[in-house]
Amino acid sequence: MSVSVIAFTELLGARVRDADGRLIGQLRDGVVLPQEATARVAFLVVVGPEGERLIALGDVESCGGRLIRVAPGIRGETVALPEALFLKRDLLDQQVIDVHGRKVVRVNDIDLEARPTNGRTELSVLDVDVGARGALRRLGKGLLPRRTLRALLARVPTRAIPWHFVDLIEADPARRVKLKIAYEGLAKLHPADIADIIEDLPPAERESVFETIDEEIAAGALEELQPKIKVAVVQSLDSERAADIVEEMAPDAAADLLADLPAEDSGAILSEMAPEERQPITRLLEFGQKTAAGRMTTEFLALPVDATVRDGMESLRTFPGGFKSALVIYLLDRERELCGGVTLLKIATATPATPLRSLTATPMITCSTEAGDEEVAELFDKYNLLTLPVVDDHQRLVGIITADDVLSLLRHRG
């Protein structure tokens, strides 16, 4: 016999007999132990006259839609299982994350691969069916003759997600640890896609994702969430975890988020943060939210006015901020007054000894800390800017606004 694929719901209810033909019971569920193997079915749950029994897959000789045959003398054990994934209880009809398709889907059926080895049959989860085929199979089971149903199903296109592209969702932290649910697939996606998926989840499940994934990824996804959901998620986390994530956010995004929270929540989060992370955020929080200073980030690249291209390259190499903040290197004089800005392109195409000052774009476009959203948007539009330096009353550079900030402020206003 060769490898075959069996639908889990087709197996459910199958009679389980031993090699002598003695009936043990009917199949009720399948058990996967993710701690040991992520796809292998370790036990079958069989319900018979004596109640529920577990049969190890090592005792299963063959597996068919109507009959499961086990080795002679096997009666099943009544041991209590440790935390495990029950296919029917925990997976069938539940929502999972389709990492490949980047969305939340509901499981209609589970395809199992049956592999005969040494007179035994091994079962492992191949994929989850989220399409019409799985649904039709379950609706038709017992109502239509098997053969008719099978012929009908063969015409329905399959929509299945390979098991390694499936991320399970589990709101209970203890179970999450025991089942090794870490949203690994989800964490590999783009932050904006992670945010879209999270928005489709119920609150407890959202919280579980943010408790589990890496802080840096969580910060990226959090920035992309709708403002209302963002606030709800942060409030659901304990302030220590929230502070860990907020520390990884760009200061302006962090300040915007904290400004939307009730004072006691934002205070609790700030007090959990390291002082050097906290300071730029508290400074931003002092400005009005709808002014240039409220929109800007304090993460930018600035060098003394007499720096050369070589210095510029060096500072780029060590710059800890994101790439949006490194598009332009600003030049400051001794009083920290802004003298000009040099774009990355100019730096990349000039010789190392060139003074940066000779590469500055003219005229230098800036705005004041008090500039409104409208003025900022106009400047970006008129001068086709990627970044806009914000200066105080003494022409000192205090922060920059990047083009993506303007895009989101325009979008949320309209």
- Contact positions vs other proteins (CB under 8 A): 92-94, 103, 105-106, 108, 130, 135, 138-139, 202-205, 228-229, 232
User: Between 236 and 395, whose beta carbon lies closer to other proteins?
Assistant: 236
> Least distance in Å: CB of 204 to other proteins?
6
> Least distance in Å: CB of 12 to other proteins?
11
> Least distance in Å: CB of 8 to other proteins?
13
> Least distance in Å: CB of 357 to other proteins?
49
> Least distance in Å: CB of 169 to other proteins?
12
User: Between 233 and 398, whose beta carbon lies closer to other proteins?
Assistant: 233
Q: Is-contact 245 219, C-beta < 8 A? A: yes
User: Between 57 and 257, whose beta carbon lies closer to other proteins?
Assistant: 257
User: Between 103 and 413, whose beta carbon lies closer to other proteins?
Assistant: 103
User: Between 228 and 394, whose beta carbon lies closer to other proteins?
Assistant: 228
Compute φ and ψ for 400, nearest 5 degrees: -135, 155
User: Between 19 and 204, whose beta carbon lies closer to other proteins?
Assistant: 204
User: Between 178 and 310, whose beta carbon lies closer to other proteins?
Assistant: 178
Q: Is-contact 17 67, C-beta < 8 A? A: yes
Please state the three-class secondary structure of the chain as a single string.
CCCEEEEHHHHCCCEEEECCCCEEEEEEEEEECCCCCCCEEEEEEEEECCEEEEEEHHHEEEECCCEEEECCCCCCECCCCCCCEEHHHHHCCCEEEECCCCEEEECCEEEEEEEEECCEEEEEEEEEECCHHHHHHHHHECCECHHHHHHHHHCCCCCEEEHHHEEECCCCHHHHHHCCCCCHHHHCCCHHHHHHHHHCCCHHHHHHHHHHCCHHHHHHHHHHCCHHHHHHHHHHCCHHHHHHHHHCCCHHHHHHHHHHCCHHHHHHHHHHCCHHHHHHHHHHHHCCCCEHHHHCECCCEEEECCCEHHHHHHHHHHCCCCHHHHCEEEEECCCCEEEEEEEHHHHHHCCCCCEHHHHCCCCCCCEECCCEHHHHHHHHHHHCCCEEEEECCCCEEEEEEEHHHHHHHHHHHC
User: Between 138 and 295, whose beta carbon lies closer to other proteins?
Assistant: 138
User: Between 85 and 307, whose beta carbon lies closer to other proteins?
Assistant: 85
> Least distance in Å: CB of 233 to other proteins?
11
What are the residues facing 110 on neighbouring strands? Answer: 128
> Least distance in Å: CB of 100 to other proteins?
16
> Least distance in Å: CB of 408 to other proteins?
16
User: Between 141 and 283, whose beta carbon lies closer to other proteins?
Assistant: 141
Task: Report the C-alpha gap between 327 and 97 in whole angstroms.
Answer: 35
> Least distance in Å: CB of 106 to other proteins?
3
> Least distance in Å: CB of 378 to other proteins?
27
Task: Report the C-alpha gap between 47 and 30 in whole angstroms.
Answer: 12
Q: Is-contact 178 152, C-beta < 8 A? A: no
**Amino acid found at 335:** E
> Least distance in Å: CB of 171 to other proteins?
10
Task: Report the C-alpha gap between 141 and 65 in whole angstroms.
Answer: 11
User: Between 130 and 329, whose beta carbon lies closer to other proteins?
Assistant: 130
